[in-house]
Amino acid sequence: MAKIHELDTPVVLIDIDRVEVNLKRAQDYADANGVKLRPHIKTHKLPQFAKRQMELGAIGITCQKIGEAEVMVDAGLRDILLPYNFLGEPKLKRLLALAKRAALKVTADSITTIDGYSRTFSESGITLPVLVECDTGGARAGVQTPEEALALARYINASDGLRFAGLMTYPAKGATAQANAWLARATVLLREAGLAPEIVSTGGTPDLWHSGENGAATEYRPGTYIYLDRFQVHEGVGGFEDCALSVLATVVSRPTNTRAILDAGSKTLTSDTLGLQGFGRIVEYPDAVIASLSEEHGTVDLTRSTAKPRVGDMVRIIPNHACPVSNLFDEVTLVRGDDVVGTVPVAARGKVA
Amino acid sequence: MAKIHELDTPVVLIDIDRVEVNLKRAQDYADANGVKLRPHIKTHKLPQFAKRQMELGAIGITCQKIGEAEVMVDAGLRDILLPYNFLGEPKLKRLLALAKRAALKVTADSITTIDGYSRTFSESGITLPVLVECDTGGARAGVQTPEEALALARYINASDGLRFAGLMTYPAKGATAQANAWLARATVLLREAGLAPEIVSTGGTPDLWHSGENGAATEYRPGTYIYLDRFQVHEGVGGFEDCALSVLATVVSRPTNTRAILDAGSKTLTSDTLGLQGFGRIVEYPDAVIASLSEEHGTVDLTRSTAKPRVGDMVRIIPNHACPVSNLFDEVTLVRGDDVVGTVPVAARGKVA
C-alpha cells in the first residue's frame, strides 16, 4: 500500500475515518434533536459520500447547480433540493429533463423565475415543488418580508405545473435567531392563509450544533461538516484534529531564513480568506503563516516559527475553505492515517451551470 | 449559428478577433524592439492559442507545471520553459519522460533542487538546461544575490546531466528597473566567470510595453496579454475594449432596488481581487459594483448605477484576473461579436502538479 509521502504534490487528501466520524456525529445530533438533515454536496462533490450521508439517515441531498444534480442523479440519488432561482431556456430544459428522473425541489424569489418554471412544467405532467427563498438577513437572494413570501406562495399555487412547497433561507452568520424569527412569522402568515409550508429549510455548518433550536425549520442543509476547515475551526464547530480534508504540498524554495515557498498557491488553496489572516494552517508548522498566494506559489512567513522546513519537505495544509478546494481538483486521494486507500474523481467538480 | 444570448450561463466567452489583435500587437511590438516572446500559457491553457502564438513569432512557450507542459507537448509544442523548482521522485520521473519528447528548460534556486535534477538526468543521455531563479524584488522564490546566482550556476555546470542555461526572474510589480539592474549585475559576474547566460528571462504583462527597455533580458514571458482583464486595464496595459475574455452571467434575483444577484460567484470569477475594489466589471452596468461573492452567487450593489438590470437579463463581466477563471472552466466558448463560433475544452485546466 502506498504512503502519502510517496504522492506527487500538491494533492488533496481525504481522511476517510474522519469523514465517517464527522458524518455520524452530525447525524446522531440530528436524530437526538429531531432535525432532518439534507446535506449540501457542494463541499465534497462526490456521489459516494452523498450515498453515505443518505445511508446514515439524511432525508435527501442539496445541490446548488443543475450540473451537480445531474451527476448525483446519474449516481442513483433521487431526492434533491436545488435552492436556486433557475432562469433561461437552456437551464429550464435541463431542469425538466432531470425532474423526470428524480424528485427535485427548487426555489424562487420572483415572479419572473416562477413564470419560467410554470412555462416549463405546465404541460409536462410533472408538478414541480417550489420553495420561496427568504432573505432573513443574509443580504443575498430572497424576498425581503414574510408578506412577500405569502404573495409568492399564492402565485406559485396559482401557476400551472407548480406547487408551493415551503420556505428556504441561508441565514446570516451569527443571526440564526433573527432568521428563525423571520421564518416563524412567515409560517404563521402562511398557515393563516391555508398555505402551511411543508418544508422550511435552513442551514450552514457554523450553526449545526444549534440546529435543534431552530423552531420554525423542518430541514437543515449543512455542507462543510463532512470535512471541516480552518474557518469552521475558527467558528468553534470542531478542532483541527477533526478536519478531514488537507492539501499535501512540498516546500520548493527557502529563499531566506524567514520565507518558505510551497507548491500550493491560489490554484490549489483558492484566494478565499473567509475573513481569516493567512490562507490555511500548516499542520506541522502551526506558527508559520501562509502570507500570500500567487497561482502556483504559496509564500510562507516563518518569522514566528522556530521550526523551519527544508526544501523538499512535505507539509499538510488545512485550507481556510474546503468547498472551493474540492472544486479545483479533478480527483482526491482517500487516506487512512499515512496510508493511501485510493483515488476518486470529483464527479460534480466544475459544474458551474 | 447560435447567438451568445442563447447560451446557458455562467459561461466563459473568448472573443477570437480580440485574441488575434492582442497577440499580433504584442508580437509586432516585440519584433520592433528586439524582444523574444515566450508566452506563458497559464492564461489560456489552450493548445490552439499556444500554436497561434508560435506561428506569430514566439520562440517557445512557458508552462508553470509539468501537467500543463504534458498537455502542450501532446499537442505538438516542442520548446518549453518551466520556471519552477521541481522536487520529489514522482515529479522528476515525469520531467524526465517529458524531456525525451521536447526541449525543456527548468529553473532552480537551491542545491537540493539541482541535486534532484542531476540524480534524475545523469544517466539519461539528456542534458537538462537549468536556469537559476533570481529574487529581484518580488519576494517569492529565487536566490537573493547575484553572487548566489553565480555559485548555483557553477554548481549546475559541475552536476552530471545538467547545463547552466541562464537566469529567470518574475519582477516585482513596478520594479522592472530594479530587476533589470539585478540581472545586469549578475550577468557581469557570470561573464567574468566564463559563464555568460544564454537566456535571461523576465516577464509579466503589466510591463510588456516596456520590455524593449530590459537591457539584460533576452526573453520575455507575458501571459495575460492574450485576454487582458480588469487588473491589466487598471495597470494601463489596454482598455476594456481590448479584453477578450468575459463571463456571461444571468441576473437571477433583484431582491431590493439596489441589489442584484448574478449566477456567477467565486466558483466562476474566483476570489482574486488583485487589490481592486469589487470582483469584476459588468460591461452593461459599469457603475454597478460586484461587491461580494459566495460560491454560486455574485452580489451586485446598484446604488451608483442609474440603469438597473431585471431578473433574467444577461450581463457580461470582465473578471479581475483572467488566468484563474480559465482554470475553473472545463470548456470556453469562442465568439465573434454576438455569434458563437465554437466550444473548446480547456485542455491544460486543473493541472496542479
Residue B193 belongs to domain with CATH number: 3.20.20.10
pLDDT of residue A202 exceeding 80? yes
Q: Tell me, yes or no, whether B199 and B236 share the same domain.
A: no
Closest Cα partner for A79 from A108, A59, A57, A55? A59
Residue carrying the nine cell digits 442563447: B6
What SS3 state is found at B353? Answer: coil
Q: What are phi and psi of B126, to 5 degrees?
A: -110, 140
Residue B36 forms part of a structural domain? yes
Residue B352 forms part of a structural domain? no
Residue B158 forms part of a structural domain? yes
Residue A137 forms part of a structural domain? yes
Residue B305 cell numbers, joined: 448605477
Residue A352 forms part of a structural domain? no
Residue A351 forms part of a structural domain? no
Residue A75 cell numbers, joined: 449516481
Number of domains present in the structure of chain B: 2
Q: How far is CA B312 from CA A32, A163, A352, B331, in A?
A: 43, 22, 17, 23
Q: Tell me, yes or no, whether B215 and B285 share the same domain.
A: no
> Would you call A141 and B297 a contact, using CB atoms and an 8 Å cutoff?
yes
Biggest CA–CA distance in chain A, Å, is 70
Q: Tell me, yes or no, whether A222 and A235 share the same domain.
A: no
Q: At what angle do helices B47-55 and B16-32 cross, to 10 degrees?
A: 40
Residue B214 forms part of a structural domain? yes
Q: Tell me, yes or no, whether B197 and B291 share the same domain.
A: no
pLDDT digits (tens, 9 = 90+) for B79-116: 999 999 999 999 999 999 999 999 999 999 999 999 99
Nearest to B272 among A6, A271, A323 (CB): A271
Radius of gyration of chain A (CA): 22
Domain boundary among B197, B226, B255: B226
> Would you call B10 and A352 a contact, using CB atoms and an 8 Å cutoff?
yes
Q: Tell me, yes or no, whether A60 and A193 share the same domain.
A: yes
Torsion of CA B258, B262, B264, B265, to 10 degrees: 50
CB atoms inside a 10 Å sphere around CB B341: 16
Q: ipTM score of the complex? A: 0.97
pLDDT-based confidence at residue A108 (cuts at 50, 70, 90) = very high
Domain boundary among B207, B226, B245: B226
Low-confidence ranges of chain B (pLDDT < 50): none
Which residues from chain A sit within 8 angstroms of residue B323, using beta carbons? 295
Q: Tell me, yes or no, whether B162 and B277 share the same domain.
A: no
Apex A296 CA angle, A291 and A301, nearest 5: 20
pLDDT digits (tens, 9 = 90+) for A230-262: 999 999 999 999 999 999 999 999 999 999 999
Please tell me the distance from the alpha carbon of residue A117 to that of residue A128, in angstroms, as a whole number.
8
| Mean pLDDT estimate for chain A | 97
Domain boundary among B226, B260, B293: B226
Whether the CB-CB separation of B315 and B300 falls below 8 Å is answered with no
Q: Tell me, yes or no, whether B162 and B278 share the same domain.
A: no
pLDDT of residue A134 exceeding 90? yes
Q: Tell me, yes or no, whether B220 and B305 share the same domain.
A: no
> Would you call B294 and A324 a contact, using CB atoms and an 8 Å cutoff?
no
Q: Tell me, yes or no, whether B221 and B239 share the same domain.
A: no
Q: Tell me, yes or no, whether A245 and A201 share the same domain.
A: no
What SS3 state is found at B90? Answer: helix
Which residues from chain A sit within 8 angstroms of residue B85, using beta carbons? 252-253, 261, 311
pLDDT at A213: 84
Please tell me the distance from the alpha carbon of residue A128 to that of residue A116, in angstroms, as a whole number.
12
Q: Tell me, yes or no, whether A223 and A264 share the same domain.
A: no
Radius of gyration of chain B (CA): 22
pLDDT at B191: 97
Q: Tell me, yes or no, whether A165 and A311 share the same domain.
A: no
CB atoms inside a 10 Å sphere around CB A174: 11
Q: How far is CA A344 from CA A14, A48, B41, in A?
A: 10, 9, 28
Residue B59 forms part of a structural domain? yes
Phi-psi region of A58 (alpha: psi -120 to 50; beta: other; left: phi over 0): beta
> What mean pLDDT do residues A158-176 have?
93
Nearest to B141 among A7, A143, A255 (CB): A255
pLDDT of residue A88 exceeding 80? yes
> What mean pLDDT do residues A221-234 have?
98
pLDDT at A349: 98
pLDDT at B206: 87
Residue A266: give the domain boundaries: 4-11+231-345
pLDDT at B334: 98
pLDDT of residue A214 exceeding 80? no
Peptide bond into B90 cis (omega under 30): no
> Would you call B252 and A295 a contact, using CB atoms and an 8 Å cutoff?
no
Nearest to A255 among B142, B352, B353 (CB): B142
pLDDT at B216: 86
> Would you call A328 and B253 a contact, using CB atoms and an 8 Å cutoff?
no
Residue B133 cell numbers, joined: 531563479
Q: Which among A89, A117, A263, A325 is the top mutation candidate for probing chain B, defined by the most B β-carbons within 10 Å of its own β-carbon? A: A263
pLDDT at B173: 81
How large a percentage of chain A has pLDDT more than 70? 100
Residue A332 belongs to domain with CATH number: 2.40.37.20
